[in-house]
Amino acid sequence: MVVLFIYYSIEGGTKRGQMIFSLIFKGLLDNIASQNKLIQVMKKLLLLVILTSIFFNTKSQIALTTPVLSSPSDMNCIEIGSALTLEWETVSGATSYEINFYNNGSTNNTFTSSTNSFNGNTSNFPNWSTFFWRVKAVNQNDSSAWSEPFSFKAQNSCDDSQNGVILTQPENNITTALTSVFFDWEHYMFGSSNATEYILVIAKSSNLSDVQEYTINQGTSKTLYNLEPNTEYSWQVRAYYFGSYIERSQLRSFQTPSDVTTGIELNTNGGIKVFPNPAYDNIAVQGLKAKTEFTVTDLNGKTCLAGILSTQQANINITDLNKGLYILELLNEDTTTKRIKLIKSK
């Protein structure tokens, strides 16, 4: 601008000088306009950079989802001495995972893994010990909530015969006589039962989906009535100690009959009463009008007791029967047959 002013002072009075001055001044103005446009473009680019930074920073701060545990499945059995691999589903945005491994005793450790799995060793696990594990996802900005814990039982052997919860009735893969089924099991933990409650799990599928659960606070048996006929069921028993999972039995199955026996009632049938029912030692049969033959059969059709009742109220000693569900069949002199469900309590 200073140079332009000096030039105008010298040559401004001539026509040629005025023309040159006009051209120079116009070029200068065009240059300033171009610089303004460049500034506007630079402002827009800067704004775009800021918005992009905000977008990706916000995206990186989206909360991590909670990992979903997959293997070993919950409440599984792991043989001591075998390799232990814990696996879970990958979480988007996670750069690592923390694994919390603990039991109800002194063990409580946290490990880190850069993948969705963790390998451990079971050689030092005590027999019959229950372990729990859970996982959370982590990145440089955040961490997820802990997953719901899975558990497994460490045992020297995971064979059914070595399991602490042993299923006894119904036998595996049988077809029951009735759609009412008596379930029975035994529980041994270092030689004695120490569970405070059991949960009987029954389902129409082997993977225990769509399950029904029944809590048993006393004893180790349960009778379920009116199951669906001609249906294959799977069942399992889980043991708990004051709400904490201890262990579970192996999975078993049975089939209900297609022909459902009719005319079988629990305590009464045509004026005949059987009590107490369930019973432990003796049952009374009341309402007999004539000499009556009786048989007691188990759900496999085997005759366990038989005899003749000759009085209006007679007693049947069932002390020698095993705990379970039976059918009491009464046949009087006019060949009328009556059937009543009988439950031996213990």
Beta bridge partners of 98: 112, 136
**CATH fourth-level superfamily of 162-255:** Immunoglobulins (2.60.40.10)
**Phi, psi angles (nearest 5°) of residue 35:** -65, -40
Q: Which amino acid is at 1?
A: M
Among 74, 248, 80, 241, CA closest to 166: 248
Beta bridge partners of 253: 234
Most confidently modeled range among 33-47, 191-205, 223-237, 326-340: 223-237
Residue with tokens 């059987």: 274
pLDDT the model gives residue 266 = 45
- DSSP three-state, residue 24: helix
Structure tokens, 325: 């569900």
- Name the pLDDT band for 53 (thresholds 50, 70, 90): low
27-52 tens-digit pLDDT: 655 666 666 666 776 777 777 767 76
Pairing of strands 117-121, 129-138: unpaired
Whole-prediction pTM: 0.45
Q: 266: which DSSP letter?
A: S
Structure tokens, 311: 């009085």
Q: Which of 57-71, 167-181, 235-249 has the lowest mean pLDDT?
A: 57-71
Percent with pLDDT over 70 in the chain: 73
Q: With 60 as the cut, is the pLDDT of residue 269 above it? A: no
Pairing of strands 337-344, 303-309: unpaired
Choosing among 3.20.20.70, 3.30.70.1090, 1.10.3720.10, 2.60.40.3080, the CATH entry for 264-344 is 2.60.40.3080
Pick the residue with more confidence: 314 or 92?
92
Residue range 69-155 forms a domain whose CATH class is mainly beta
Residue with tokens 């048993």: 216
Averaged pLDDT for residues 99-106:
79
State the Cα–Cα distance between residues 305 and 294, nearest whole angstrom.
8
Whether the ω angle into residue 67 lies within 30 degrees of 0, i.e. cis, is: no
- Name the pLDDT band for 7 (thresholds 50, 70, 90): very low
First to last CA, the chain: 114
Query: With contact defined as beta carbons under 8 Å apart, do 68 and 37 qualify?
Result: no
Query: With contact defined as beta carbons under 8 Å apart, do 232 and 205 qualify?
Result: no
Pick the residue with more confidence: 249 or 265?
249
The residues near 11 (Cβ < 8 Å, ≥ 6 apart) are 17, 18, 20, 21
Query: How many degrees, rounded to 5, is the angle at CA 195 between CA 191 and CA 199?
Result: 125
State the Cα–Cα distance between residues 325 and 304, nearest whole angstrom.
12
